[in-house]
Amino acid sequence: MQKFTTLTGIAAALPMPNVDTDMIIPKQFLKTIQRTGLGKHLFDEMRYSQDGKELPDFVLNKGPYRKAEILISGANFGCGSSREHAPWALLDFGIRCVIAPSFADIFHGNCFKNGILPIVLPQEEIDKLLDDASRGANATITVDLEKQEIRGPDGGVIRFDIDPFRKQCLINGWDDIGLTLRNEKDIDTFEERRRMAQPWL
């Protein structure tokens, strides 16, 4: 998993509550078990018309926001079915951080497991970031995970809270497999002892 320390990027505004996982990546794209290739279908039904043409009013189809790495959205982001394809699609598009007043629990956990930082902030702070995100090419903000700070284009600073364990996992790039492999030597030692003591297994 890619490490997350400090991210400076364009922020895109999607000021909608209850953005569910079917809106993030519609069900017809869930046949794959690959984590790549889903970015082109992110928010598919909002980004494209029925004949596959881009809808010019959708934020990720507009100039600088095509390269957005941060998404500012509304409450209860990631609700709906517990599809891990949702964070995969965000990450494949290039989104490394989602900021919202609240998240659905399973989606929130899946973000951390895939290297995406979900940040919960009060609505008044979200409103400031939505204003920052309205500046097009100048909609650049910095998310500093170590300091737990968001710095806006005008120099304003917003602090955020995060679980210390999940913070360390992101900073070090540890997903569930990475956490297990930290104990690889102990696991090998155990397996060797087991083979010696119980060779019939």
Biggest CA-to-CA distance, the chain: 68
Judged against a pLDDT cut of 90, whether residue 194 lies above it is answered with no
185 assigned to some structural domain: no
Strand, coil or helix: what is 28?
Answer: helix
Higher-confidence position of 186 and 120: 120
Higher-confidence position of 195 and 117: 117
| Region for 100 from its dihedrals, namely left if φ exceeds 0, alpha if ψ lies in -120 to 50, beta otherwise | beta
Domain around 139: 6-174
Total structural domains within the chain:
1
100 assigned to some structural domain: yes
- pLDDT above 70 as % of the chain: 94
Give the pLDDT confidence score for residue 98 in this predicted structure: 98
61 assigned to some structural domain: yes
Q: Which of these ranges, 67-81, 89-103, 131-145, 178-192, has the smallest mean pLDDT? A: 178-192
Q: Judging by DSSP bridges, how do beta strands 140-144 and 117-120 pair with one another? A: unpaired
What phi and psi, each to the nearest 5 degrees, are found at residue 124? -65, -35
50 assigned to some structural domain: yes
187 assigned to some structural domain: no
Separation CA 109–CA 57 (nearest Å):
31
Judged against a pLDDT cut of 70, whether residue 182 lies above it is answered with no
28 assigned to some structural domain: yes
Decide: pTM greater than 0.85: yes
The structure tokens listed for 156 are: 């304003």
Judged against a pLDDT cut of 90, whether residue 190 lies above it is answered with no
Mean pLDDT score, 116-135:
96
CA 29, chain centre distance (Å): 18
179 assigned to some structural domain: no
In which element (H, E) is residue 141 found?
strand 140-144
39 assigned to some structural domain: yes
CATH number of the domain that 57 lies in?
3.20.19.10
85 band by pLDDT with thresholds 50, 70 and 90: very high
